[in-house]
Structures are given as C-alpha cells and as structure tokens.
A and B are shown apart, each in its own frame.
Chain A
Amino acid sequence: MAQIPESQQKVKFYQTGTFTVGNRLLDAEHRNVQATMDRCNSLDSGHRACQGCGEALGARFAIDAAMRASNNQLIAANATGCLEVFTTPYPQTAWSMPWIHSLFGNASAVASGIAAALKAKGREDVRVIAQGGDGGTTDIGFGCLSGTFDRNDDVLYICYNNQAYMNTGVQRSSATPGAARTATTMPVGKNPGNVFGTGKNVPLVAMAHQIPYVATASVHDLHDLEYKVTRAMEVRGARYIEIFVPCPLGWGSKPGDTVKLARLAVESGMYPLFEAEDGEITGVTKIRRHVAVSEYLKLQRRFAHVFKPDNAHQLEQLEAIAERNIRRFDLVSAEGEEE
C-alpha cells in the first residue's frame, strides 16, 4: 500500500463534510457564520413568521453573512411583504440592525438613495442591502429594480423567492411555477393551477443588465449561500441574489420539511443554483444526488392535483422544466452524480 506523507494528505472531514451548518473538526475560519456562537442574529427571536418559515431562515442566513462581510456596517431597505410584516409589527422590531421599511415596489430605489447619500457623505465603509419577496421584486418593484441595475448603483438586492404573494393570502406572482395552486390560480378545469408558459426568471433578467454579480441560492445549502453573499459583498455596484425559501403556509407543506423541500427542489433540477459575473455564468452548483421531480412535488399540497391521472400532462411539463434546467445549466457532472 502506497504511503501518503501526512503533509500531502488533505484533511477530510468525512463525517459530515461541509454539508452541516458547522463541524467541530473544521478550522474556525472555514465554518459558516451560522455556526459561530457570536453570529449577530440580525433577525432575532420573537418575530411572527409561521412555524418553519423559509424566508425568516433565509433572511437571517443572508443578512448575518452580509454583516460579517461588512464588519457590521450595513443598512437594509425592506419592501413590503411577509418579511416586513412579520418582523416589524409596530412598535416592535426583530431586526438588530439599521433597517427601513419602504413601499411594496420601491425598496431598490430607497436603497439606491441610501447608497447615493452614503457616497455623498464619503462613507464607503457602510454597505447597502435591499430585500423583499418575489412579489415585491419580480412584479411590483420590477421597474425600480431594473433602474438600480441600469445605473449600477452600489446595492445588493436580495430576493426571497417563495413563489407567490404569501403575506396577502397566497396570490400568484410572476415567480409562481406552472400548475401551482394559489388563491388566484385554483386547481380547477383541464389545466388546474397556474398556467404554464408565464412568469419570469429574474436572475436571468438581472444577468441581461450585465451587472457585476448575480446568484441563486437555497436555504438547504448554507455553505453555498454564505459563500455567494460574501462574494457579492466583495464587489461594488449592483448585485442580485435570489434565495429559494419554501413557504409551509402557501405551499401546503409540513413546517419541518422546509429545508428538505429546498434540497429536493435543487436536487431534482427544479431550482438551479448558479452564479454569474458581468452577465456570464461563472459557476454552477452540481446536483449531488439526483431525485425525481415527484419527490419534490408530493410533499406540497399546492401540487396535489398533478398526481391525479387526468393531470399527468402537468407532471410531465414540470419534469420537462427540470430536465431543461439540468441541460441548460449543466447541473449533472459529466462523471455522473457524486457517489
């Protein structure tokens, strides 16, 4: 047996690798912000999000990472939506950082204004984030968002995508997937749920603005998420990150399955994880263990009807979307899945 010198042997943490939040065998600097005892908990306890809220989780992950990257010199503008409502029922706030509530549609414009003011004051050390849900981003705030990208304002926009207007009672947004049941796309008729062939992919729209950094992330892959937020904070100019955040209320899923659903969405190809610089894709998170789309769908009541024999065509359409994502973003390694 060939003897590998200790110096050349990579230290491998096979017990859980980097898939868990932290690992006691890892050096401190390689651990996630969320693994540290002194993480800032920008979004603290006592907020009124539902049990198992993916958005509350995604927001703490992202903002804590941004806080570390900016040495806690961070201001956030927040669009109207769940995130704003459940964190700040006046006069209480769950935010332990400078935070401002804007209108539903102008969070990026408010953030652009803050960035301009900081520039005027010469405060380059203070960084600006705008954040909101998919409704406030892909529909109502879309014009302002495009303007921020167009001007390349020094703002990181984070969209927490739970694929519908959850705060107001689960109405369809332009991020709602085909076949999904919402209050405005009821599962009736020959093509129940949301119509296929509608909506928009804002990460790709952001890339079309040739802004310095665009990425998609998911609450199930914290290491990847924190890396992308940290990478975005290293760059100046307009940046966009979309985080996939399952919603137990709107999706009809168990609160304890939130992270699992995010994982299944990514592993089935329904939600591709990638990053792009200056309009060009620079990195793709490969699928680790490929699962069937139905594994992802069957845990959600909003897709219950696609498993009825009459609606088999809808399941096929969703599977075709996953296959296209896998092909388009090259989500499966040439050598096959990691085994």
Chain B
Amino acid sequence: MSKSAPEQSKPFAITLDVGSSLLNRTGSWRTERPVYLDRLPPCNHACPAGENIQQWLSLAEEGDYQGAWREIMKNNPLPGVMGRACYHPCEDACNRAQLDTAVGINSVERFLADEAICNNWRVEVENPPSGKRVLVIGAGPSGLSAAYHLALLGHEATINEAGPVAGGMMRFGIPKYRLPRDIVDAEVERIVTMGVTLNLNTVVDDIPAAMQAGGFDACFVAIGAHLANRVDIPAADASRVLDAVSVLRDMETGDTPPQLGRRVVVYGGGNTAVDVARTAKRLGAEPVIVYRRTREQMPAHDFEIEEALEEGVVVNWLSTVTGADEKGFQIEKMALDENGRPQPTGEFETIEADSMVMALGQNVDTSILDHLPGVEIADKVVQVDDNMMTGCEGVFAGGDMVPSERTVTVAVGHGKKAARHIDAFLRGDRYLKPSQHEIASYDKLNPWYYTDADKKLRPILDIARRTSTFEEVMGSLDRNNALFEARRCLSCGNCFECDNCYGVCPDNAITKLGPGNRFEFKYDYCKGCALCATECPCGAIEMVPEDI
C-alpha cells in the first residue's frame, strides 16, 4: 500500500479529521456584528455640573459610599448643597420615569454628602503645584467651584469676596429651611483646607490693578446678579416696598429680621418669590403672592409652589399690583388673551397689607468690569466665549452674571468649565471637550429585565413646624433606603455585567472576562443573530453591518 498513514486512518468516505465543532468557524456566516459600546446616560447628559451620576450611583449601590462621593467630587465640590438646592434636571431626564418613577438621584447625592461631612472625608490635591496664581472674585457657587477645580489642577487660587461670609446666593438666595447653613459652612471649609485662600470683606473694583498687585496670571469673575428689579407703584410709601434680595439678605446678616408687618404682598412668580413668601410665613406674617399669569406659567418649580401652598401661602394668579394706599395695595385682575398673554380687565380689588416685597428678577452690577478693555455687556449680562473668557484676555466670567439659567448647579458647572479653560490658558493651550457618546434613550433599553421598585421618599417635616421654624423641610434617606434608591438605577447605556449577553448566546460566542472586566465576543463563532443586543437590558450592545 502506497497511501500515506493519515488518509488511511480516516473512516470510509470521510475527508475531515474527527474533532470538535470548534474547528468550524461559524463567524463566517455573519452579516452584522455585535459590538459593546458605552452610551451616555440621560442623567449625566442633563447635569449642568457635568456629574457622572450613573458612575457614582453604581458605586453607591455596592455600598461604597466614599467611592461614590469621590466620584461626585471629581465634578462638583458642593454635593451637600446640590442634594438640597439642585432642581435635579437629571431626574427629569431619568429613563426610569417611563418605567415607574425617576431614581431619587438628588436624595442619594444628599445622603452621600452628609456621610462625607459626618466622616470628615477630604479631597487630596494630587497634581504638583503649577506656580500659577488665579484670582477668583466672588465666593458664590461658581467662584467656589472654580477655585476648587483650579486647586485640584495645581494652581493657587485666591477668592476675594466682598461680603462678610462665603456662599453667595447659597446663603443669600436660598432660605435655611431648604439649605441649612452648617452644610454650606462645611463644604466651603473643605475647599479652603485644600489650599484655597478666601479673603472676606474684600471688594475688588479695579481688576487689572488687583491682578497686578497680587501677581495673578488669570482672573475668574463670578459676582452674581444682586441688583433687584423694581417697578414703580403709584402712591406707594417707599418704606413699605422692599425687594426680595434685601429681604433674604437681611435674614442672613441683619441684626433683626426684616420688618414685614402682619400681611405681606409678594410680587412675582419665580422661585425667589416663593422663597420670600415661605420665609415671611415662618416669620409669622401672612404672605400673598401676586403673579400676573397662571399657575402653569409660573417660573417657580411646581414642587416649591406646592410646598408653599401646603404651608398656607396664598397665591393670587392673574393679578398685577397697580397702586397703593394706606390700607394696602390695589390689584387689577388679568385675563389671558388668545395668545396666552395676560391682559388687564379693568377689574380692581384691594389687598390689605402692611408691606410689599418685589421679586421681579435680578440684574448684574457690571461696574466691576468698567475698566476692562474689550468686555462686552449685552442684555444686561456679561458676554463670554465658548471658553468662558470675556473680551479681555485672561479674564473669565461665569455664574449668574453671564447668559445662563440662574441656578446653583449651573453656576457650579460654570466654575468647573472655567477652571478647565483657565488651566489650558495658563499652559498656553486650549481645552478641548471630549466627544460625547450617543444618548442612551429609553428605546435603547429592554425594560423587561428591570424589577418593580418604588421610589424611596425622603421624610418631610410636619406642617406645624414648617410654618413656625426654619428647620429643614426635606429630611434625608438613611443607609438602608439610600442603598435601595441607588439600586433603582437602570445603568442606561453602560454594561453593568448582568451576564445576559453571555447567557443568551446560542453559539457560546461570548467570553466572560470576570468581575469588572465585562465581556468579549468570539467573532470566530458569532453568527450575528443579535440576541445579545436585543436582550441587553441597558442598551450597551450595538449591531454593526459587516463589510461584505
């Protein structure tokens, strides 16, 4: 026999060697390939401070509270303030709202921040000193945030604050019952101990001079918007007409609380109007909010209006204040026209009241920038470019004084953004924003896999104590329900290693790489059936056409 041995060893009519099916690379059948990807969670996308919310919730749900807090601190140095005063656009964007109710991100953030204060957790500066000095004007949320981030980046930050205390609108704009002052104090102190210099009662009126005197390489201006808008009320006794900014400031710094009398009209429909009305209630007055449009059109957040109504604040919608006499204030009734705009009706009534507080918005005192060449002021606010820099080289601005939504969280976001651009400016560079992933919208999820779980609500103070004291209205979650709440997160767009893809592959074409390491496709065997992508709960697998 001349035939070679291997051929002889094969059974009759067989051309292949005996072996495992692993020899058969079924990946060649594929027309689409599954690819793991990370999508941008809607909460992260919505956060004005750019927090990586999903990441810190994920740490919190493992019980790693310190790790979760440190993840927040990468982007936001004021989580205790955020957990109370933020209007949480993250929760409005949360995909879980379409399943049952949004994850209580704000309440978990507050829990983590309180744990941090309680345990005295600190942030260490790891970057070496850069030798650069930055002047920050204003110790509000924006200035504090900028100083914090500049310090983290190794720069020497000095905050000059005109007032006697740090905190800005966190202290003068948000009442105590929403944001206790010890929280502000603790979080400011933490920033100061990182090496930030805080000079109180220090007014800067000439920026170039101040920069030269202190040897500063750059400046961040964040003085906020403190000038109250006023309207003329005919025949009104000026002593009885106050503005919201000074009332709330007097609450903080005045020797005696503001004298509002027994009955007080609050004119305006924003959050500040509601804050003043609720403050007046706590001082023993009877507040009446007068607003010219309807409840639906009020700029104040609905939950704040609701809480105010619960506390006994009266609201007159569709009304304007037209005059005053010794008894009180004249109100004209309004009616909406076909365009939804309020129009006078000629119907008048008098509200008996001792005083009126105007809460009609605030403006920026831009005089500080008068000496600076190139700075542009338009629409009563300071114009900045994409890098947060004003028209004057090296002078940046943020917070309420630049065009934006005026909230604490936006201000904190401005501080971070400005710090990054100042850092790049100091290095003679430009900060480039990393590209964002596609948003993990609800249609990318497979909600079958998520179990029902009701939102854990924070305890609310009794009405009796809400109307007579300045105690905090909203309570905290405790360790048990904070953990539960964190676990309600759906992890939209980012693999949380549920093993579904690994399990549902009919071809065993996925390798599990072990805890924390996710998975890998075996493209030699994957037939491209898309079961993994369809059954992924959080939308972290995409099918991509093969080049054929």
Which of A's residues lie within 8 Å of B, judged by CB? Answer: 1, 3-4, 6, 9, 12-17, 19-25, 31-32, 34-35, 37, 41, 43-49, 51-54, 56-57, 60, 87, 90-94, 96, 222, 248, 254-260, 263, 289, 338-339
Which chain B residues lie closer than 8 Å to A35 at the CB level? 499, 502-503
Q: Knowing A16-B450, A22-B498, A45-B525 touch, does A92 contact B20 (C-beta < 8 A)?
A: yes
User: Complex formed: what's the CA distance from A124 to B529 in Å?
Assistant: 40
Question: What are 6 A-B contacts defined by CB distance under 8 Å?
Answer: A13-B451, A22-B499, A44-B20, A47-B507, A56-B507, A222-B503
B434-478, CB < 8 A from A: 448-453, 459, 478
B residues adjacent to A (C-beta < 8 A): 11, 14, 16-26, 29, 61-62, 448-453, 459, 478-480, 484, 487-491, 496-500, 502-509, 512, 514-515, 522, 524-525, 527-531, 533-535, 537, 543
A57 vs B501: C-alpha distance when bound (angstroms): 12
- Give the secondary structure class of A's interface: loop
Evaluate contact between B500 and A21: CB separation under 8 angstroms.
yes
In the bound assembly, the distance between CA atoms of A278 and B99 in angstroms comes to: 41
Does A256 lie within 8 Å of B508, measured CB to CB? no
Contact: B449 with A57, CB < 8 Å?
no
- Contact: B11 with A91, CB < 8 Å? yes
Q: A19-B451, A46-B23, A257-B534 are in contact. List 9 more A-B contacts (CB 8 A).
A: A14-B452, A16-B449, A24-B515, A31-B499, A45-B522, A46-B26, A46-B525, A52-B529, A255-B530
Complex CA distance for A94 and B448, rounded to whole angstroms: 32
- The interface centre, meaning the residue of B17, B26, B529, B537 with most chain A CB atoms within 10 A of its CB, is B529
Name the distance in Å between B103's Cβ and chain A's nearest Cβ: 10
Q: Is the Cβ of A46 less than 8 Å from the Cβ of B21?
A: yes
Chain A residues near B531: list those with CB within 8 A.
52, 57, 255-256, 258-259
A213–B252 Cα distance when bound, in Å, is 75
A255→B491 CA distance, assembly (Å): 26
In the assembled complex, the CB of A302 is this many whole angstroms from the nearest CB of chain B, namely: 19
State A19–B480 Cα separation when bound (angstroms).
Answer: 23
- Specify the chain A residue showing the minimal Cβ separation from B447: A289
Contact A45 B509 (CB under 8 A): yes
> Taking A259-B504, A260-B534 as contacts, is the C-beta distance between A16 and B498 under 8 angstroms?
yes
- For B22, what are the chain A residues with a Cβ–Cβ distance below 8 Å? 44-46
Say which residue of B21, B62, B488, B499 sits within 8 Å of A34 (CB atoms): B499
Bound-state CA distance A255–B535 (Å) is 12
A15 to chain B, nearest CB (A): 5
Evaluate contact between B529 and A256: CB separation under 8 angstroms.
Answer: yes
**What is the chain B residue whose CB lies nearest that of A17?**
B451
Q: Are A48 and B508 CB-contacts (below 8 A) given A91-B11, A255-B530?
A: no
Determine the chain B residues whose CB is within 8 A of the CB of A6 once the complex forms. 479-480
Say which residue of A22, A51, A91, A338 sits within 8 Å of B452 (CB atoms). A338
Pick the most buried of B11, B449, B537, B543: most chain A CB atoms within 10 A of its CB. B449
Q: How far is the CA of A46 from the CA of B24 in the complex (A)?
A: 5
A14, B20: Cβ atoms under 8 Å?
no
B residues in contact with A259, CB < 8 Å: 504, 531, 534-535
Q: Roughly how many angstroms separate A22 CA and B500 CA in the complex, as a whole number? A: 7
4 closest Cβ pairs, A-B complex: A21-B503, A256-B530, A22-B499, A46-B21
Docked-complex contact B26 and A48, CB < 8 angstroms: yes
Whether A256 contacts B527 in the complex (CB less than 8 A), given A21-B502, A46-B24, comes out as no
B488 lies within 8 A of A14 (CB): yes
Cβ contacts under 8 Å, B484 to chain A: 12, 14
Residue contact A92 to B512, C-beta cutoff 8 Å: no
Instruction: Name which residue of chain A comes closest to B514, CB basis.
Output: A37
Q: Which residues of B contact A87 (CB under 8 A)?
A: 21
Question: Contacts A52-B506, A91-B18; is A15 near B490 (CB within 8 Å)?
Answer: yes
| Bound complex: CA A222 to CA B487 (Å) | 22
Assembled-state Cα–Cα distance A91/B479 (Å):
60
Known: A14-B451, A255-B530, A255-B531. A43 touches B508 (CB 8 A): yes
B271: shortest Cβ distance to chain A, in Å? 28
B64 to chain A, nearest CB (A): 13
A13 with B487: CB separation less than 8 A: yes
Separation of A308 and B407 alpha carbons in the complex (Å):
57
Residues of A within 8 A of B514 (CB): 37
Contacts of B23 in A (CB 8 A): 46, 92
How far does the Cβ of A159 sit from chain B's closest Cβ, in whole Å? 18
Contacts of A257 in B (CB 8 A): 534
**Please, which residues of chain B bring their CB within 8 A of the CB of A258?**
506, 529, 531
The winner among B11, B490, B497 for most chain A CB atoms within 10 A is B497
CA distance A6 to B479 in the complex (A): 9
List, in ascending order, chain B residues with CB within 8 A of A51's CB.
29, 527-529
Q: Which residue of A has the minimal Cβ distance to B510?
A: A45
CB neighbours (8 Å) of B527 from chain A are 51-52, 255
Contacting pair A41 B508 (CB below 8 A): yes
Q: Are B503 and A32 in contact (CB under 8 A)?
A: yes
Inter-chain contacts of A20 with B (CB < 8 A): 449, 498-500, 503, 537
What residue of chain A has the Cβ atom nearest to residue B10's Cβ?
Answer: A91
Task: Say yes or no: B14 contacts A90, CB within 8 Å.
Answer: yes
